[in-house]
Chains A and B, each alone.
Chain A
Amino acid sequence: MKSQYQNRIELLQGTLDLLILQTLLWGPQHGYGISQVIRTQSGEVLQVDTGSLYPALHRLEKQKWIKSEWKLTEKNQEAKFYQLTAAGRKQLAEERSRWEQLSDAIGAVLKNPVIG
């Protein structure tokens, strides 16, 4: 039971990283903005928990895949904006291809007719 639970967390974290990096591909964004983008783009399916989002952002920053800067928003408010670094772009490309491989592989399994 315990190990299953841990796997779920890891899967979510890994996926969240991919989603965050993907979101930032379109330009710098703050935490709230990132969660809004993921929610709307996923058709309201993916709700990003703040307790996962902020640790993920800080971890990605520690790994130097993103960097942060305080800037003014369109509504003239101070917010901490994150943006992709060069390393982050490379990481995004890797994670995308891994995700696509995984997705293809799972898709292939699911599409195969059941034998016997």
Chain B
Amino acid sequence: MDSRKNEDLEAEIQSHLQMAAQDKVAAGQSPRDARDATLREFGNVGMVKEVTREMWPGTSLESFLQDIRYGLRTLIKTPGFAVVAILTLALGIGANTAVFSVVNGVLLNPLPFRDADRLVVLFHDKANFPEGSISYPNFLDWQRDNQSFEAMAAYRQNGFSITGAGEPENVHGQRISSTFFPVLGVNPVLGRNFSADEDRLGANPTVMISEGLWKRKFGSDPAIIGRRLIVEGVGRTIVGVIPAGFRLRISNFRTGDVYLPIGEDTEPQFRERSSAWGMDAIGLLKRGVTLEQARQDMARVNRGLAAAYPDVDAGIKSRIVPLKEHMVGELRPVLLVLLGAVAFVLLISCVNVANLLLARSNSRQREFAIRVALGAAQQRIVRQLLTESILLALVGGVLGLILAKWGTAAALAAVPRSLPRAENIGLDFHVLLYTFGISLVAGIVFGLVPALKTSHSHIGSTLKESGRNLAGTRGRAQGAFVVAEMALALVLLTGAGLMIRTLFHLWEVDPGFNPHDILTFNVSPSSSLASKSPDAIRAAYREMHAAIRSVPGVEAASFNWGAHPMEGDAEESFWVQGQPKPARRADLPYALQYVVQPEYLELMQTPLKSGRFLRPDDNDHSQFVVVIDEDFAAQYFPGKNPIGQHLVNEQTGGRERVEEIVGVAGHVKQFGLDQDAINTLHAQIYESFFQQEDDLMRRVAKGTDVFVRTRAGIDPTSVFPAIQHALNRVDAGMVVFGPENMDQTVADSIAQKRFSMTLLAVFAALALLLASIGIYGVLSYLVGQRTQEIGVRMALGAQRSDVLRLIMNDGARMALLGIGIGVVVALGLTHLMTSMLFGVRPTDPLTFAAVTLVLGWIALLACYVPAHRAMRVDPTVALRYE
């Protein structure tokens, strides 16, 4: 249809030309002259066709396609411009897509559970620990007495040794209530969930395994249900297989390989109402019950508990947090700041491309003036220009998607552990829609100003001026662009600067120990050890210690059955002998507890402030001793010498254990470089590993952490295989696993901040680059515009340095104005980052001064090149410059 009409128009014009030429021949001209004259009179055939076609009743789609074809032709005609514009946009759009795909995967996508919006996490809110663990008896009462939950489920994580199926190994696992998977709506791929009967003391031992373990250990045997797996030396019947797609990472829960019913745990301490064994709970709210109603309901339940068990449950509180909020709540401000930052990068890209378009539209001024003169509507020209810019943006968007895919992968590789829900991040439909959306908006944003300016400029004078354009108004628009770019870049630089200062502050924080050359790992001896006498267990551990120390490269080693700095905490309640014992156990103070060997202090290189550390002769036959940290001393013995004082703690069965304080050590930043100051629990105690009570030794027999200082200059993890070998010579059934470099553990504790800093720095660098290109481009253009003027000035006696100053002044004015606006905007925005900062205020003057200087210098540098070029203008050439 369209092509027939085009042929028709072509034929119509040809017949016109033919008839006109024939008339001229009849009037006596030579055929050649006649044809030339006819063509001259007719004018531009292509243009006539173009404007005639615009009269056709064609659908808007047709004219749209026409615009696209025309746009593509123009872009192909100026490949340099197209490539620069598309790359600039691809960077901006790609960065936005990458950050959005993270936001989408982490914050926006619903959790992959049925009724995800009714799922909550429950904690026992107590002193020092707003998200403290719940004791099993309290949990059972919560479960029984509440009226707002469809179901609750408790869970506690553990390492479990599994034997009887190939090589013995230690796997991560969870003890769970029988209601756990039903609450989440997760169904086994094979078999069934635990029954309530299997979730109580004395039940027949059962186990559920992961699909991964099922594949790895049993070759996906379809007849696995009913077979036995030996877990921690106990044969258990496999009742179900959990799908590989089940993923959950929350406080005290990590997807594991084995799941055991929590209710059949025989450990007596676990069943004490005062215990805190790292057990949390999840719950499924009843339909229509709000969070607030559930909180009130739980407060009612807790009042009952406080009345029934005043000794341990006085003032007990529950904390209920929506599951998603618990998983990603902390990350929300960080991601939103990053999303805002990356939007700024896109804005700068848009401004740069708008600048390019302005400069280019200059050369097309005549083309549009002619089209308008021939009757094309201005609206039509704006549409044409917008089509071109949207075309650019969409091509940039496609390229940006590719960059984003690659960039997201790179960014995620940098933070393997600290980002929750990282497995959800990818380019899904929402991300594609977002990319398409921002490309479209970007196309309109950077296309509109140049399009309006071009189509509205003074057509009559444009034609008369034989192609020279209006440097004045055009220059103003470009000047405004530069100012905007500078301001945007300054805001981003400030954000990045604040994060860099934060990281510097964090790196300067003394963790209280020297993490270099420390290897940590776990041991889990053969399950038969737990049934031996406490003395036999101590002997076995002494033998293991000797084996580890004999490995070349090991300089010191210590078991640690307690808190693991920056990884996991363990606490013990106590009171100071001679001071009144609190009436209720609920009011006992707590201290972080490290159960270690004498070499621990030397190994960690934690300073000893006074007294002595644990000694090899602090054993099960001697007086119980304890070393406290300086914060403990300050808190409980202000202005007094704690050495020689005694701490008392209550053991199972109510027996009191008295320990003499023999030394004071430096404070260790248990909760991480940035978090330790925020956490209220600071007091720390060191107890002797071999002075632990007999019943604790039986638990220690199941496994503990090991800390090793290795010879300086070697990779700490490199000695791990030799240690493994040495320990297996002592006990062939022992599982030695989880080697970690302490440096890495410390780095991981600030990984999220490092991640934010890296991204902000990358965005700021990108912004700086784009903004410098922008100011350079505009100044070069303006210098080109003013060549004639410069020539005149020089002809009238201006010095080269005057010219340099003239141009530099122009650039500096724009840059300074942009920087000024940027500072104001940054002051308004940086407070959004408060939660991400450490040791630096959002209005940190040093950061502001530094980024202002950096941006100022770079802007001046970008101005210098075109200014220098202007300085070398030859007046005689410039005056002829057209």
Binding site for B on A (CB under 8 A): 1-2, 5, 9, 13, 30-33, 36, 49-52, 54-55, 58-59, 62, 73, 75, 77-80
- B374 near A51: Cβ-Cβ < 8 Å: yes
* Residue of chain A at shortest CB distance from B456: A2
Question: B44-52, B216-224, B260-268: which one contacts chain A?
Answer: B44-52
What are the residues of chain A within 8 A of B23 when measuring CB–CB? Answer: 36
- A50 near B456: Cβ-Cβ < 8 Å: no
Known A-B contacts A5-B459, A50-B48, A62-B57; A32 and B20 likewise in contact (beta carbons under 8 Å): yes
- B458 near A2: Cβ-Cβ < 8 Å: yes
Known A-B contacts A32-B19, A32-B20; A78 and B51 likewise in contact (beta carbons under 8 Å): no
Q: Which of A1, A9, A49, A79 contacts B19 (CB 8 A)?
A: A79
Taken residue by residue from 400 to 421, chain B's Cβ proximity to chain A (1 for < 8 Å, 0 otherwise) reads as 0000000000000000000000
Q: How far is the CB of B41 from chain A (nearest CB, A)?
A: 8
* Residue of chain A at shortest CB distance from B461: A1
With an 8 A cutoff between CB atoms, is B11 at the interface? yes
Q: Which of B15, B55, B456 contacts A80 (CB 8 A)?
A: B15
Given contacts A54-B48, A54-B52, A62-B55, could you give 13 more A-B pairs where the C-beta distance is less than 8 Å?
Answer: A2-B458, A5-B459, A9-B375, A30-B12, A31-B12, A51-B48, A51-B51, A54-B13, A58-B55, A62-B57, A73-B19, A78-B11, A78-B15
What are the residues of chain A within 8 A of B55 when measuring CB–CB? Answer: 55, 58-59, 62
Q: How far is the CB of B378 from chain A (nearest CB, A)?
A: 9
13 CB contacts below 8 A, A to B, read A1-B460, A9-B375, A30-B16, A30-B19, A33-B19, A50-B48, A51-B48, A51-B374, A52-B374, A52-B375, A58-B52, A59-B55, A62-B57
Known A-B contacts A55-B54, A62-B56; A80 and B12 likewise in contact (beta carbons under 8 Å): yes
Cα A52 to Cα B374 with chains together (Å):
6
- B56 near A13: Cβ-Cβ < 8 Å: no
Known A-B contacts A2-B456, A49-B43; A55 and B16 likewise in contact (beta carbons under 8 Å): no
With an 8 A cutoff between CB atoms, is B744 at the interface? no
* Residue of chain A at shortest CB distance from B5: A58
Q: How far is the CB of A52 from chain B (nearest CB, A)?
A: 6
What are the residues of chain A within 8 A of B458 when measuring CB–CB? Answer: 1-2
* Residue of chain B at shortest CB distance from A9: B375
What are the residues of chain A within 8 A of B22 when measuring CB–CB? Answer: 75
With an 8 A cutoff between CB atoms, is B636 at the interface? no
- B375 near A55: Cβ-Cβ < 8 Å: yes
Q: Which of A30, A55, A73 contacts B51 (CB 8 A)?
A: A55
* Residue of chain B at shortest CB distance from A4: B460
With an 8 A cutoff between CB atoms, is B42 at the interface? yes
What are the residues of chain B within 8 A of A33 when measuring CB–CB? Answer: 19
Q: How far is the CB of A75 from chain B (nearest CB, A)?
A: 7
| 6 smallest beta-carbon distances between A and B, as pairs | A58-B55, A51-B374, A54-B52, A59-B55, A32-B16, A32-B19
What are the residues of chain A within 8 A of B379 when measuring CB–CB? Answer: none
With an 8 A cutoff between CB atoms, is B528 at the interface? no
With an 8 A cutoff between CB atoms, is B18 at the interface? yes
- A77 near B460: Cβ-Cβ < 8 Å: no
Q: How far is the CB of A21 from chain B (nearest CB, A)?
A: 16
Known A-B contacts A5-B459, A50-B42; A30 and B15 likewise in contact (beta carbons under 8 Å): yes
Q: How far is the CB of A61 from chain B (nearest CB, A)?
A: 8
What are the residues of chain B within 8 A of A55 when measuring CB–CB? Answer: 51-52, 54-55, 374-375
Binding site for A on B (CB under 8 A): 8-9, 11-13, 15-16, 18-20, 22-23, 42-44, 47-48, 51-52, 54-57, 373-375, 456, 458-460
Cα A40 to Cα B44 with chains together (Å):
24
Known A-B contacts A30-B19, A32-B19, A50-B42; A80 and B8 likewise in contact (beta carbons under 8 Å): yes
What are the residues of chain A within 8 A of B48 when measuring CB–CB? Answer: 50-51, 54
- B43 near A31: Cβ-Cβ < 8 Å: no
What are the residues of chain B within 8 A of A31 when measuring CB–CB? Answer: 12, 16
What are the residues of chain A within 8 A of B373 when measuring CB–CB? Answer: 9
Q: How far is the CB of A69 from chain B (nearest CB, A)?
A: 12
Q: How far is the CB of A66 from chain B (nearest CB, A)?
A: 13
Cα A13 to Cα B374 with chains together (Å):
11
What are the residues of chain A within 8 A of B47 when measuring CB–CB? Answer: 51
- A77 near B18: Cβ-Cβ < 8 Å: yes
What are the residues of chain B within 8 A of A62 when measuring CB–CB? Answer: 55-57
Q: How far is the CB of A79 from chain B (nearest CB, A)?
A: 5
Cα A62 to Cα B58 with chains together (Å):
10
Cα A62 to Cα B456 with chains together (Å):
28
What are the residues of chain A within 8 A of B15 when measuring CB–CB? Answer: 30, 32, 77-80
Cα A40 to Cα B459 with chains together (Å):
31
Cα A13 to Cα B16 with chains together (Å):
21
- A58 near B19: Cβ-Cβ < 8 Å: no
What are the residues of chain A within 8 A of B375 when measuring CB–CB? Answer: 9, 13, 51-52, 55
Residue in A13, A51, A62 whose Cβ sees the most chain B Cβ within 10 Å:
A51
Cα A51 to Cα B44 with chains together (Å):
8
What are the residues of chain A within 8 A of B18 when measuring CB–CB? Answer: 77
* Residue of chain B at shortest CB distance from A62: B57
What are the residues of chain B within 8 A of A2 when measuring CB–CB? Answer: 456, 458-459
Cα A55 to Cα B22 with chains together (Å):
24
What are the residues of chain A within 8 A of B54 when measuring CB–CB? Answer: 55
Cα A31 to Cα B18 with chains together (Å):
12
* Residue of chain B at shortest CB distance from A13: B375
What are the residues of chain B within 8 A of A80 when measuring CB–CB? Answer: 8, 11-12, 15
Cα A49 to Cα B43 with chains together (Å):
8
Cα A79 to Cα B23 with chains together (Å):
15
Cα A52 to Cα B54 with chains together (Å):
12
Cα A30 to Cα B16 with chains together (Å):
8
* Residue of chain B at shortest CB distance from A5: B460
Q: How far is the CB of A5 from chain B (nearest CB, A)?
A: 6
Cα A59 to Cα B19 with chains together (Å):
23
Q: How far is the CB of B438 from chain A (nearest CB, A)?
A: 34
What are the residues of chain B within 8 A of A79 when measuring CB–CB? Answer: 12, 15, 19
* Residue of chain B at shortest CB distance from A6: B378
Q: How far is the CB of B576 from chain A (nearest CB, A)?
A: 89
What are the residues of chain B within 8 A of A32 when measuring CB–CB? Answer: 15-16, 19-20
What are the residues of chain B within 8 A of A1 when measuring CB–CB? Answer: 458, 460
Known A-B contacts A51-B51, A77-B15, A78-B15; A58 and B43 likewise in contact (beta carbons under 8 Å): no
Q: How far is the CB of A23 from chain B (nearest CB, A)?
A: 15
Cα A51 to Cα B12 with chains together (Å):
13
Cα A30 to Cα B12 with chains together (Å):
9
Q: How far is the CB of A62 from chain B (nearest CB, A)?
A: 5
What are the residues of chain A within 8 A of B374 when measuring CB–CB? Answer: 51-52, 55
What are the residues of chain B within 8 A of A75 when measuring CB–CB? Answer: 19, 22
Cα A78 to Cα B55 with chains together (Å):
23
Q: How far is the CB of B392 from chain A (nearest CB, A)?
A: 28
What are the residues of chain B within 8 A of A9 when measuring CB–CB? Answer: 373, 375
Residue in B8, B12, B13, B54 whose Cβ sees the most chain A Cβ within 10 Å:
B12
Q: How far is the CB of A73 from chain B (nearest CB, A)?
A: 7
Q: Which of B16, B20, B56 contacts A58 (CB 8 A)?
A: B56
Cα A30 to Cα B458 with chains together (Å):
36
- A50 near B12: Cβ-Cβ < 8 Å: no
Q: How far is the CB of A11 from chain B (nearest CB, A)?
A: 13
- B43 near A51: Cβ-Cβ < 8 Å: yes
Cα A49 to Cα B11 with chains together (Å):
18
What are the residues of chain A within 8 A of B13 when measuring CB–CB? Answer: 50, 54
Q: How far is the CB of A22 from chain B (nearest CB, A)?
A: 20
* Residue of chain B at shortest CB distance from A33: B19
Cα A95 to Cα B624 with chains together (Å):
116
Cα A78 to Cα B7 with chains together (Å):
14
Cα A52 to Cα B55 with chains together (Å):
11
Residue in B18, B54, B373, B375 whose Cβ sees the most chain A Cβ within 10 Å:
B375
Cα A58 to Cα B5 with chains together (Å):
11
Cα A97 to Cα B23 with chains together (Å):
35
What are the residues of chain B within 8 A of A49 when measuring CB–CB? Answer: 43
Q: How far is the CB of A39 from chain B (nearest CB, A)?
A: 11
Q: How far is the CB of B167 from chain A (nearest CB, A)?
A: 84
Cα A36 to Cα B19 with chains together (Å):
11
Cα A33 to Cα B638 with chains together (Å):
112
Cα A73 to Cα B374 with chains together (Å):
29
